[in-house]
Amino acid sequence: MSDDLQGPDEGLGTNGSDEGGTVRGAEQLAWFSRSRTKRGLIAAALFLVLAAVVTTQTKQGQDLALRAALKQVQSSLSGELTIQGVRSGTLLTGATMTGVRLDAEDGRPVFSADSVVVRYSILAALSGGQPIRATMFWGLDLEISRYTSEESVNLNRVLAHRDSEAKLDINEPVTELLLGQVGFRESRVRILTPTTNRSGQRLVQGPEGVVLRELTFDSLDIDIEEAILSVSSEPQFTARLSSLSSSVGVLEEPFVIEEALGFVSYGQRGITISEGRYTLPGGLIQGDLTVGPRREGQPWVLTADIQSEGWVPLSDIGWIDARIPEGRFRGAAELRIEDGVHLAVQDIETELEAGNVLFNGGVTFDEG
């Protein structure tokens, strides 16, 4: 029998060898134990990966994995998430979910989508990396709504309620979810907020006869990168906007954005695009744009602090008022759409058929 496999009495005895040999034997035994443990962990990891592959390659296994994932997601929501079906050759790298719908706990819709394509990496999740690589929403219909001035926006009520002790824990770490690339195709975002007006543009009737102001982003295509969702800090969502095009319904005529770049965020101030560059049908402007409440509890309005890049045709802002003449302009302006259109202009130079005019000051276009 070799020295390495001797029993305790033989290996640790003082009569058969000197003290140095005893120490070497103990070290070899410890090395053997650590090596065996390491091999056991590797074997266990390989078994788990093999089990995951077998599970996700079969229809029954995919259904089981999907139900487990939905149960985990549902536990973090106070609303109800439903998915009609899943298409995937394997759930190891991604899946296409069809008929996706999320309703708030009071039954009001939050969003629906024809399909959602998710790409992820299980190995990245196991190693502590970023599991979600990309998400694409097709035919998304998202509602951001507040039917009364007393209630909060529906998106803020989707996450499951937390107990009072969790709210008071100031040492709780910020929880962030890295979403990677996110895209919308052929989508629509509808924003509904209460108003005291009984006449005007973009007014709709809500539940129990309440009057709501509607703002929409129609024909919406978006590509964003470096998206981060936070459930415990402000803003709740941030990303780099790499592409946006939409027909924005703020008044009777739409405001058309052919392309937009910048940084986008969502939080208590609503939706903000900062450091934005916006390509309009005839020109280019830059600046910050916000769709949200001016103060907490107030209706959502569109505000912008913009500067033209060179000359821009006046037809690009013809949606503000039909009386705006043909011509072009350049300069800076602050825009607010709230019970009409309010403009504060600074060194706005306009080139009209009758001649050039320089504007400074404010102008208001009432709702027709």
Q: Mind listing the pLDDT tens digit for each residue in 88-110?
A: 766 667 888 899 999 887 788 89
Query: What is the per-residue pLDDT for 175?
Result: 67
pLDDT at 197 over 80: no
Per residue in 198-239, pLDDT tens? 777 788 888 777 888 889 999 999 999 999 887 666 668 999
Query: What is the per-residue pLDDT for 59?
Result: 62
Which residue is it, tokens 């120490």?
A: 23
Query: What is the per-residue pLDDT for 24?
Result: 52
Query: What is the per-residue pLDDT for 166?
Result: 43
Considering the chain, what is the average pLDDT of its residues? 78
Per DSSP, the three-state class of 287 is strand
pLDDT at 162 over 50: no
Q: Which residue has the higher pLDDT, 90 or 242?
A: 242
pLDDT at 165 over 70: no
Q: How confident is the model at residue 3 (pLDDT cuts 50, 70, 90)?
A: very low
Query: What is the per-residue pLDDT for 138?
Result: 97
Per residue in 22-72, pLDDT tens? 545 555 544 445 455 445 444 444 444 444 444 455 566 556 656 666 665
Query: What is the per-residue pLDDT for 263?
Result: 97
Query: What is the per-residue pLDDT for 48?
Result: 46
Per residue in 168-188, pLDDT tens? 344 555 567 788 899 999 999
* C-alpha atoms less than 13 angstroms from C-alpha of 115 in its C-beta half-sphere: 11
For strand 141-145 and strand 176-194, is the pairing parallel, antiparallel, or unpaired? Answer: parallel
Query: CB neighbours (10 Å) of residue 117?
Result: 18
Task: Give pairs for 3-9: CB < 8 Å, separation 24+.
Answer: 4/28, 4/29, 4/32
Q: How confident is the model at residue 279 (pLDDT cuts 50, 70, 90)?
A: very high
Q: How confident is the model at residue 17 (pLDDT cuts 50, 70, 90)?
A: very low
Per DSSP, the three-state class of 320 is coil
Per DSSP, the three-state class of 194 is strand
Q: CA 12 to CA 25: how far, in whole Å?
A: 8
For strand 203-205 and strand 141-145, is the pairing parallel, antiparallel, or unpaired? Answer: unpaired
Q: How far apart are the first and last CA of the chain?
A: 101
Mean predicted confidence (pLDDT) in 269-278: 94
Q: Which residue has the higher pLDDT, 12 or 264?
A: 264
Query: What is the per-residue pLDDT for 298?
Result: 75
pLDDT above 90 covers a percentage of the chain that reads 35
Mean predicted confidence (pLDDT) in 154-180: 60
* 346 sits in which H/E element: strand 341-352
Which residue is it, tokens 């998206």?
A: 227
Question: What's the pTM?
Answer: 0.75
Query: What is the per-residue pLDDT for 307?
Result: 95
Per residue in 283-326, pLDDT tens? 999 999 999 888 777 778 899 999 999 999 999 999 998 889 99
Between vectors from CA 295 to CA 294 and to CA 297, what angle results, nearest 5°?
Answer: 115
pLDDT at 253 over 70: yes
* 300: Cβ contacts below 8 Å, ≥ 6 apart: 144, 191, 193, 213, 215, 270, 291, 292, 293
